[in-house]
Amino acid sequence: MSFALLFSGQGNQHPAMLPWLADDAVVRDMRARLGVADWRGALADPAWAERNDNAQTLLTGLALAAWKQLAPLVAPPAAIAGYSVGELAAFSAAGVLEAGPTLALAQQRAEAMDACAAQAPGGLLAVTGLSGPRLEQLCVDTGLALAIRNGPESVILGGPSAALGQAERIASLEGAQCTRLRVNVASHTPWMREAADRFARALESVSFHAPQVALFSNAADRIRDAAAARHALAAQIATTVRWDECMDNVMARHIHCVLEIGPGQALARMWNQRYPTVPARACDEFRSAAAVAAWLTRHADR
């Protein structure tokens, strides 16, 4: 069986996500940390759902629980990667971190980023349809930074709110498709440098292990040991997420299918557009863990 796991980032969380997920010990730990009895009910409030501290803790906990409940039903994956905050769950799934410390780190990561955002409010803007040189010039003209690179003409820009508005107006007039993301921090840009440094200090006291499977980072390509894992988790907060390269690295493992763990199907769609011969599905599409496992087994055993 040869498949890859991709762990989603934030922005697509919704009350009906992962309908098959059981309320296990990891979910209960997450609920306790968030102070909510019903996480689906909490997600029904957009103001609560879009708060960075709530979203990062919730998505990390749900991803950890989802993989814990799926893992006994399938063989180990051949490769793992996570998108933005999804790296925390990805590193845990690869054996780098235990679930409890990973949830605590999600809270610390969000706190560090929110502290930066309080000093320099900002956000993220998805832009599709502009060439590489034009995107570079747009960043120069507006003062924004490249936060995430999904493909040659599909990126996410980050920076102050006013600059995001300016970039959206310019890019839209040039025929680009623009979408403001449901986040209130300029993740993966230089505006998060203090957050990256603060998180690096938090990671020093946490026990890390070498990955047990091929693990790829947004900021440092393949992670082979504990030191590299610790560095990568902090660095990606303030540097560009090279998701296109992550996908290429995963594909190089000769996998037969891909499973996205988290809300929505954004990563599965990107994968299917880039590699149409290797199918990808999202856990959010299934009604039971058994159905997820059956799909994985059917395609990964080809």
- Shared-domain flag, residues 294 and 198: yes
Mark whether 88 and 197 lie in a shared domain.
Answer: yes
Q: Is the pTM of this model over 0.75?
A: yes
Last residue of a domain, one of 161, 180, 199: 180
Claim to verify: residue 46 and residue 193 sit in the same structural domain: yes
Q: What pLDDT sits at residue 302? A: 67
CATH assignment at residue 200: 3.40.366.10
- Residue 45's CB is within 10 A of a number of other CB atoms, namely 12
| Domain enclosing residue 129, as ranges | 122-180
> What are 156-191's pLDDT values in tens digits?
999 999 999 999 999 999 999 999 987 889 999 999
Give yes or no: residues 137 and 280 share one domain.
no
pLDDT of residue 295: 96
Which stretches of the chain score pLDDT less than 70?
A: 1, 302
Per-residue confidence (pLDDT) for residue 292, from 0 to 100 = 96
Pairing of strands 214-217, 145-151: unpaired
Q: What pLDDT is stored for residue 246 in this prediction? A: 95
Burial class (CB in 10 A: 0-12, 13-18, 19+), 165: middle
Q: What's the rounded Cα separation, in Å, for the pair 241 and 84?
A: 7
Condensed to tens digits (0 to 9), the pLDDT of residues 226-271 reads 999 999 999 999 999 999 999 999 999 999 999 999 999 999 999 9
Q: How many domains does the chain have?
A: 2
What is the per-residue pLDDT for 115? Answer: 96
